[in-house]
Amino acid sequence: MQETEAILNARREVEICNACRYCEGFCAVFPALELRREFSGGDLSYLANLCHNCRGCYYACQYSPPHEWGINIPRTMAEVRAESYEEYAWPPGAAKLFERNGVVVALAVAASIALVLIVAMAIGSPGAFFSARPMQPGAFYSVLPLLTMQIVGIASFGFALVALWMGARNFWKDAGPTEKVGVTALGIAAWDVLTLKNLGGNGNGCNDNSEAFSMRRRHLHHAMFYGFMLCFASTCSGFFFHAFLGWHAPYSLFSLPVVLGTVGGVLMTVGTVGLFVMKLTDDPLPNARRLLAGDVAMLLLLAMVAVTGLLLLAVRSTGAMPLTMAIHLGFVLALFVVLPYSKMVHGVYRSAALLRRAVERNMKPLGGE
């Protein structure tokens, strides 16, 4: 990481924390910083991505504003995190996409929807595009051929996976050498990721707006994450039905792809809308407000993927199906395109940071026995 103002401020704050240690039982960040005497840019990026922004340390800190030291770990870590997304972006020129990220996500959405609509209308006549189609196997593919969907979907999602992998690799290298990753560390990290342990605050939850604790943020994150995974499982099961059983969409309401997609879509909607409301109403002081536009744009994009997917299910036997399907696929394409260049990268870097923390767990803290 470059020596930016955010890095210099983070170093000043964590050095004070390392002397104070009042918050060492709050989360994984404090035990990890206590293992270090000096903090390189890579160390600070690691700590920043380990921070889950629960804000417990901000409300507990006797040196937070208006104290002259102005310790504000959640905001400082959020600023370093944002810089780490730019620093590790792949290909390197893509770092600029994290500046004015809300605008980038909005433009990607507009361009993707326009592209899908143009292609769908060019394939059939505009008149046919707005007419109802009988709900028989293959009805969706009369709007957009399956091969077109497969090529665009695999290419955009495949590129996103490569870019995310390269970013995670850059992050891991910058955090410095560490012990070999073993199966136990992988298991611990997977558990921490899947349970969002660090949003649990030792059973109390996060501080959303004040010193009062709540599990709301953790539950909403779970709804969004598991909703997304169920939608992904729905797509995979649909692919299995099509490719191996010869059963073509649309499927019945009680089929596996539809049940998984419906439950996943509802969970995603609840999680994203709930987190969106929290973003707009939570205490601004521990937040890095300049990141708000990108965070909100990503939440809205995820919400629209879920809502238009549910809407498509509701209107699939009407004349609104082709237009709804094209808009839904436009949102999905936009999601794939911006995946490595949006707030979504935080899941990858945070998981990598938790894995690193699991590897370090047996190291002795400074001043330890």
Q: Is 354 in the site for ligand SF4 (CB under 6 A)?
A: no
- Minimum distance, C-beta of residue 368 to ligand SF4, in the bound complex (Å): 17
Cβ neighbours, 10 Å, residue 103: 13
Binds ligand SF4 by CB under 6 A, chosen from 11, 55, 75, 343: 55
The SS3 of residue 40 is: coil
Outline where 241-344 has alpha helix (H).
256-281, 292-315, 321-338
Q: Is 296 in the site for ligand SF4 (CB under 6 A)?
A: no
Q: Is 198 in the site for ligand SF4 (CB under 6 A)?
A: yes
Q: Given the complex with ligand SF4, which of 21 and 248 has the nearer CB atom? A: 21
CA contacts within 13 A on the Cβ side of 171: 34
Element (H, E) at 183: helix 183-195
User: 206 phi and psi, to 5 degrees?
Assistant: -100, 170
Region 6-25 residues binding ligand SF4, contact defined as CB under 6 A = 16-17, 20-23
Stretch that binds ligand SF4, among 26-34, 82-90, 98-106, 159-167 (CB under 6 A): 26-34
Binds ligand SF4 by CB under 6 A, chosen from 1, 7, 44, 61: 61
DSSP state letters, 128-182:
HHTS-----TTTGGGTS-HHHHHHHHHHHHHHHHHHHHHHHHHHHHHT---PPP-
- Minimum distance, C-beta of residue 196 to ligand SF4, in the bound complex (Å): 11
| Length of the chain as a residue count | 369
Q: Is 73 in the site for ligand SF4 (CB under 6 A)?
A: yes
Stretch that binds ligand SF4, among 70-78, 93-101, 134-142, 359-367 (CB under 6 A): 70-78
Task: Compute the radius of gyration of the chain from its Cα atoms.
Answer: 23
Stretch that binds ligand SF4, among 66-74, 94-102, 126-134, 219-227 (CB under 6 A): 66-74
Binds ligand SF4 by CB under 6 A, chosen from 32, 44, 51, 220: 51
Select from 12, 3, 5 the least CA-distant residue to 71: 12
List interacting residues with ligand SF4 (CB under 6 A): 16-17, 20-23, 26-27, 29, 51-57, 60-63, 71, 73-74, 77, 198
